[in-house]
A and B are shown apart, each in its own frame.
Chain A
Amino acid sequence: MTGTRQMVVTLFVVAVTCAVILSFVYAFTEPRIAETQAQLTLSGLEEVISAHKYVEVIPDTLWQAMDSLDQKIGIVFRMFPQGYGGPIPITVGLNNEGTITGIRIASAAEGMSETPGLGAKITEPSFTAQFKDKCAAEVALEQDGGTIQAITAATISSRAVSEGVKKGIEKYAEYLESGFDMSIIFPEANNFIEITADSIWYALVNSDTVGIVFIGVSQGYLDCIKFMVGYSQERRITGVAILYSQETEGIGEVIRDQEFLEKFKDGIPEAVSGATISTKALIDGVTSGIQRYGEYIK
């Protein structure tokens, strides 16, 4: 019996001592680990878009880049497209116009596992620099109809990067919309204050409210249509802009037509024949938006 007790007691004492020592080591190193980690992330972000500070929107995935006046100047996001040897960690910087400010691919030490000497060349500046100043439509390998030159004998890795970057832009572009210049649809106002995040704003002249700006979505012919409307105190539409639309080229595309959008200023226009579904979707969307958000106008 003494033997068993001694076994249990010794094991218990050793385990408790180990746990206590480890908790001290953890308390000592934890802040330092967090700091190095944050530093590392920050320097990675700075490499793709230089900003005064970065506000994390989705942990470890998406950041808003701010200038020193707290204005949003763009976003940074991370993607992990499947390459030849595993997921490739890519960091992409986008400015408000949706143009790439820079991309960075993690080195082998940071978890990129493409073949050394071949696929691993995607980390070199000669490859990554090609993405700078491109928009989503241009990001594809030359053989896929784009502008990115693939690395010889590393097409899979090169394609994984360009497709990953493109997918990322499509996925996160919605976070850029706040960068939309609202004065285009509300020229009289000189300041905008957010009422509800990314959907309604007060339009101000100095500090007087003169109207509202809101974002609306309605179902179009092919996909949803996302638009922004300026609506003044006098219950007049000051402007309409399309933020997102995939309507049929040449027909439904009329909703992007400046001439059509201008008509809203003189009251709700008629649907355009030949593109009834698309134009009606926008018209109904604007009308119901005004009904819904009209209450914000004093």
Chain B
Amino acid sequence: MTRFNIFTRGLVKENAVFVLMIGLCPALATSSTVRDGFGMGLAATFVLVFSNLIISILRKNIPNEVRIPIFILVISTFVTIIDYMMQAFQPDLYRALGVFVPLIVVNCMILGRAEAYASKSSVVDSILDGLGTGLGFTLALTVMGTIREILGNGTFLGMTVFGESFKNSPVIFMIMSPGAFLVIGILKALINKYVKKELR
């Protein structure tokens, strides 16, 4: 598999949210606006890339029996770093994402990449894998955030799209929990019908 393929695999073909259907809890909860979805995606990407990097470097020295605790330690360290950084430099985003930032620790997408890929692959490949998976996650959340924010709130990145009359959106539920399930369901259906076949 070429390096390019390693990168694009997580982005499209094995997109965590739309194809593998993992990491769904933060994907549903933080994709109510573009900014929140994008911010959450980048935070997860940061953790993925660096935890993949460190675990790949350490892979030959990690005893098999304690690999999971070590993975969790490394992952939670980077989650805490991004948690502090966000509090310090992006306090608005931090409050919007709330508990989902610390919960990146238990996102199975990240532990999954560490266990299934980084612990068995070279450093460069692991970074590319983390980057692809993370950006695929970001892409999914941003797409969902765009649809939900435009329909539910009439705005894109906070800018009014449909004018004042749309301010009280008739489909306001799109930015609430039911909207998240609807959007991901419809997107998944469309992807199943049109995209997946071509990639097989």
Contact = CB atoms under 8 A, between A and B. Distances in A.
Interface of A: 3, 6-7, 10-11, 14-15, 18, 21-22, 25-26, 29-30, 32-33, 36-37, 40, 109-111, 115-117
B194 to A, nearest CB: 32
A37 B91 CA distance: 8
Contacts of B77: 18, 21-22
B122 interface: no
Given A14-B74, A116-B172, A25 B81 contact: yes
B62 interface: yes
Contact of A117 (B89, B92, B172): B172
A18 B72 CA distance: 11
Contacts of B61: 10
A10 B61 CA distance: 8
24 contacts: A3-B65, A6-B63, A7-B66, A11-B69, A11-B73, A14-B73, A14-B74, A18-B73, A18-B76, A18-B77, A21-B81, A22-B77, A22-B81, A25-B80, A25-B85, A26-B84, A33-B84, A33-B87, A36-B87, A109-B96, A111-B95, A115-B176, A116-B153, A117-B169
B66 A36 contact: no
Contacts, number: 63
Nearest to B89: A32
Given A14-B73, A32-B88, A36-B88, A116 B62 contact: no
Contacts of B84: 25-26, 29-30, 33
Interface of B: 58, 61-63, 65-66, 69-70, 73-74, 76-77, 80-81, 84-85, 87-89, 91-92, 95-96, 152-153, 168-169, 172, 175-176
A11 B66 contact: yes
B63 A3 contact: yes
B133 to A, nearest CB: 22
B73 A15 contact: yes
Contacts of B88: 29, 32-33, 36
A235 to B, nearest CB: 59
A10 B66 contact: yes
B59 to A, nearest CB: 12
Contacts of A15: 73
Contacts of B175: 116
Contacts of A22: 77, 80-81
Given A14-B70, A22-B77, A116 B89 contact: no
A10 B168 contact: no
B104 to A, nearest CB: 15
B85 A29 contact: yes
Given A11-B66, A25-B80, 15 more contacts: A3-B65, A7-B65, A14-B58, A14-B74, A21-B77, A22-B77, A22-B81, A25-B84, A25-B85, A29-B85, A32-B88, A33-B84, A109-B92, A110-B95, A116-B175
A111 B92 CA distance: 11
Contacts of B169: 117
Given A26-B84, A33-B87, A18 B66 contact: no
The 10 A-B pairs of least Cβ separation, nearest first, read: A32-B88, A117-B172, A18-B77, A29-B88, A29-B84, A109-B96, A7-B63, A33-B88, A36-B91, A33-B87
A256 B128 CA distance: 79
